[in-house]
A and B are shown apart, each in its own frame.
Chain A
Amino acid sequence: MKKDTRSLLVCQGSMCISGKSRAIQEALEKKVAGTQMDGDVEVKLIGCHGFCQQGPLVIVEPEATCYTGVTVEDVDDIVQSDLRDGQVVERLLFHDPETGSPIASYHDIPFYGAQTKLLLRHCGLINPEDIDDYLGVGGYEALGSVLERPDGREVLAELKASQLRGRGGGGFPAWRKWEACLDADGDEKFVVCNADEGDPGAFMDRSILEGDPHAVLEGMSIAGFTVGARKGYIYVRAEYPLAVERLRVAIDQARRRGYLGSDILGSGFSFDVEVFLGAGAFVCGESTALTLSIEGKRGLPKAAPRPRTTEVGLFDKPTLLNNVKTFAFVPLILAQGGEWFARIGTEGSKGTATFALSGHVVNCGLIEVPMGITLRKIIYEIGGGVPEGKAFKAVQTGGPSGGCLPESFLDTPVDYDSLLQAGSMMGSGGMVVMNEDTCMVDVARYFLQFTERESCGQCVHCRLGTKQMLTILEEITRGEGKPGDVEFLVQIGEAVNAGSLCGLGQSAANPVLTTIRYFLDEYEAHIVEGRCPARSCKALISFQILPDKCIGCMLCAKACPVDAIAGERKSVHVIDQGKCIRCGMCEEACPSRYSAVERTSGSLAEGGEEA
């Protein structure tokens, strides 16, 4: 970037791209090219800037002006008003929801304010498809200085000092794995990056691969030098085409510039990386299953007692396997020093945590926070709270292996150990906020459905236990729950967690066990009272039309797929409870200014209560 140059950064994370940010970039380039500014203004693509809720985003640097919800039609205004006349385009700025006043710089937006961007420091700043941009921010310097050393012992010492724990979710100290792999015997070793981000509700790894792919490659190369491997694999979901494409571009550029391949930077050390497309199996997030998958086999976690992957891993060779985020942290830790890193975070969890914040929260997006921050701060300060004036009910972390924590845990610090103690887990970084309308029994059923499908079937407890728990949960949500179901669920759940080989099975029951622990009253309402307090489970709710609100517009009757709604134009409509399948289409169809369709907990079908 030249001095005095202004940059128009166009966010091309996956979410902004679905908002047509590619067309926006093209339009900006075209517009700028036709003016005298050409040459003083650069238009470039960036990876996810984080504020996905407000996308597509266009950032003007160095002012840090953040334009939100940009469309192709706004391009003229941005170029003419901001770039040419120096007038910020106010209507495109983020407006503070409380005061209504516009905020120009993203540094002043609360969403960004409480964050600490270490891992994501380049995401939304550099062009992920241009290695020169990465080099411009100090990229590959850590690798360069590592290669000047006789061996990887110093890297290990820094990693140890940093106390970095693996970011895949388990939180195993990174340096121990690295050391074990270094000490393992073998002339051939491998470095594997786990980018098989399969948790529903997670997009952190994807955003890093899309926004800062070279950091991952650099971390892997350093790992290769440290443990003595010459080949690395990145196991990435085939469902992430953009991440795959950017990785391939990055690998190609790194090879051409001598940062990958043989004799890297003239050091004599050779290391190359291959992208492997995961074919879609959640269990492959587990290390032994992942390596088998690269070998071309079914991803069945190896039976215990099993050798460590660091000793017998991919193709039976010593293998260092870490998550995307763990590798991406390495260049930063080496540049800043392990002790510097260890000063951030809590006693047992150092550094920052990255989350994909989504669900019932005002500001969805990709965030990074220091370890130890409270859930409340994340959800209310960064996330902006729960939208539409609804009440908070639960926050889910750790995906299908994690749990749902209630309001009383909002002041829990976010770190590996506190979340584990609460019955959830850090996981890879999905964080889904749920409001009062979310049925916790249904959420448990939802996760069990996922796990039951993804269980590889090796362990009896996991294969049959998840199936049996799912059946019971389906019965409860259908209104067919029986006394004793909850106790039975706990019994099976504890057995599944205890009797399974791999992380998937050992944590499969967590969503059930935590919802039972914290939301037992909801289970009981379903089973004993025959109602769904969140008014979500179809068999346990009813719809009725409020006579004083209905204006007889016929919209609901037209929307009803089973013709259960009777009534003429301009006369109050009535739902035939016997016919009603409780799909909620009438509620959707009723204009919000009337809101004449009421959803109630419990069944009206036999009760005889008429609207």
Chain B
Amino acid sequence: MSVGQGVESAVEAGGFDEAPLRDLLETYQDQRGALIPLLQGTQAAYGYLPAEAMESIARALREPLSQVFGVATFYAQFRLVPRARNVVRVCHGTACHVSGAPLVSLEIERNLGIGDGENTEDMMFTIENVACLGACGMAPVMMINERTYGKLSPDSAVKAVKEFRAKEEAGNGSGDTSAVPEVEDADGEEA
């Protein structure tokens, strides 16, 4: 992520609603070590860290903006650009890596036409490659939002993403894919 991206997206966003941030500042302002919880809260409220929010936080904590920006860019959790509505997290932990995660990633990226950290044009999906989801027993693993899909093959991973999209587009909006088998077996055996 770069400075340019952050500023641009905030400008695009136009009107910045300060209300959620004000509540957060009220809660955390006087705490020792408030910066990271504040940034986490801000990201939870806005989906990312708008430039205006970081400026307000810096003012409220009497810290230089560079310090706030430094922290925001040091930690992997923080994003300076908005994320799509749904996040596909592809695990690249050791167990997943040796069980075929690179191929799974490649297929998902090819299918969605985006790379790691990017959003699809329709803002349906963001792909995030993550270090380890801690579900090594089901490697290779990915998550779509809060749901885990295990024992993936490149095919079954793409199928899960497609079915998720179909459901979303069909309009039962919540992104709940209870009909999709979460733990799919990798072998596409049928001829």
List residues of A whose CB falls within 8 A of some B CB: 14-15, 17-20, 52-53, 55, 197-203, 206, 238-241, 276-277, 279-282, 293-299, 315, 356, 358-360, 364-365, 396, 399, 430, 432, 434, 438, 443, 446-447, 450, 456, 553, 555, 561, 583-585, 588-589, 591-592
Contacts and interface: CB of A to CB of B under 8 A. Distances in A.
Nearest to B183: A19
B121 interface: no
Interface residues of B, number: 52
Contacts of B75: 279-281, 299
Contacts of B106: 583
A443 B99 CA distance: 12
B76 A438 contact: no
B95 A15 contact: no
Given A18-B182, A279-B39, A315-B32, A358 B136 contact: yes
A138 B140 CA distance: 39
Interface string B150-181: 10011100000000000000000000000000
- For B40, B147, B150, B154, which residue has the most chain A Cβ atoms within 10 angstroms? B154
A534 B147 CA distance: 33
A55 B188 contact: no
A541 to B, nearest CB: 13
Contacts of B137: 15, 52-53, 55, 358, 364-365
Contact of B135 (A18, A281, A438): A18
B113 to A, nearest CB: 13
A359 B148 contact: no
B133 interface: yes
Given A282-B131, A399-B94, A238 B77 contact: yes
A585 B188 CA distance: 11
Given A279-B78, A588-B155, A19 B182 contact: yes
A591 B189 contact: yes
Contact of A14 (B76, B107, B135, B183): B135
6 contacts: A18-B149, A52-B137, A298-B74, A358-B139, A364-B138, A588-B103
B76 A443 contact: no
- For B75, B110, B148, which residue has the most chain A Cβ atoms within 10 angstroms? B75
Q: Which 7 pairs show the lowest CB-CB distances between chains A and B?
A: A296-B35, A280-B76, A358-B136, A52-B137, A279-B75, A18-B148, A364-B137
B66 to A, nearest CB: 11
Contacts of A239: 130, 133-134
A543 to B, nearest CB: 13
Contacts of B150: 15, 18
Given A296-B33, A296-B36, A438-B98, A591 B191 contact: yes
B83 interface: no
A360 B138 CA distance: 11
A452 B103 CA distance: 22
A15 B132 contact: no
A201 B132 CA distance: 6
Contacts of B155: 588-589
Interface in B11-40: 32-37, 39-40
Interface in B64-94: 67, 70-71, 74-78, 92-94
- For B107, B132, B150, B189, which residue has the most chain A Cβ atoms within 10 angstroms? B132
B187 interface: yes
Contact of B103 (A240, A295, A364, A584): A584
Contacts of B131: 198, 200, 282, 450
Nearest to B63: A296
A588 B94 contact: no
Contacts of A197: 134
A365 B95 CA distance: 12
A201 B40 contact: no
Given A15-B135, A15-B137, A364-B137, A201 B95 contact: yes
Contacts of A364: 95, 136-139
A380 B19 CA distance: 58
Nearest to B43: A279
B76 A281 contact: yes
A589 B188 CA distance: 7
Contact of A200 (B37, B99, B132): B132
A585 B103 CA distance: 9
A356 B51 CA distance: 40
A234 to B, nearest CB: 14
A584 B95 CA distance: 19
B117 to A, nearest CB: 12
A493 B1 CA distance: 29
B132 A297 contact: no
A240 B143 CA distance: 13
A606 B83 CA distance: 44
B68 to A, nearest CB: 9
Contacts of A15: 135, 137-138, 150
A592 B187 contact: yes
B98 A18 contact: no
Contacts of B78: 279
B34 A296 contact: yes
A295 B61 CA distance: 13
A279 B77 contact: yes
Given A206-B134, A315-B32, 8 more contacts: A18-B182, A203-B136, A239-B134, A281-B74, A432-B136, A447-B94, A584-B103, A585-B154
B103 A202 contact: no
B94 A359 contact: yes
Given A198-B131, A206-B134, A588-B153, A279 B94 contact: no
Given A200-B132, A296-B33, A360 B103 contact: no
B43 to A, nearest CB: 9
- For B71, B147, B182, which residue has the most chain A Cβ atoms within 10 angstroms? B71
B147 to A, nearest CB: 7
Contacts of A438: 98
Contact of B188 (A293, A358, A588): A588
A299 B74 contact: yes
Nearest to A432: B94
A583 B95 contact: no
Nearest to A360: B98
Contacts of A17: 148
B94 A296 contact: no
B144 to A, nearest CB: 12
Nearest to A437: B98
A443 B98 CA distance: 8
B71 A298 contact: yes
- For A241, A295, A315, which residue has the most chain B Cβ atoms within 10 angstroms? A295
A201 B140 CA distance: 12
A356 B94 CA distance: 12
Contacts of A200: 92-94, 97, 131-132
A18 B183 contact: yes
B71 A20 contact: no
Interface string B106-123: 110010000000000000
A296 B68 CA distance: 9
A199 B94 CA distance: 9
B135 A555 contact: no
A55 B183 CA distance: 11
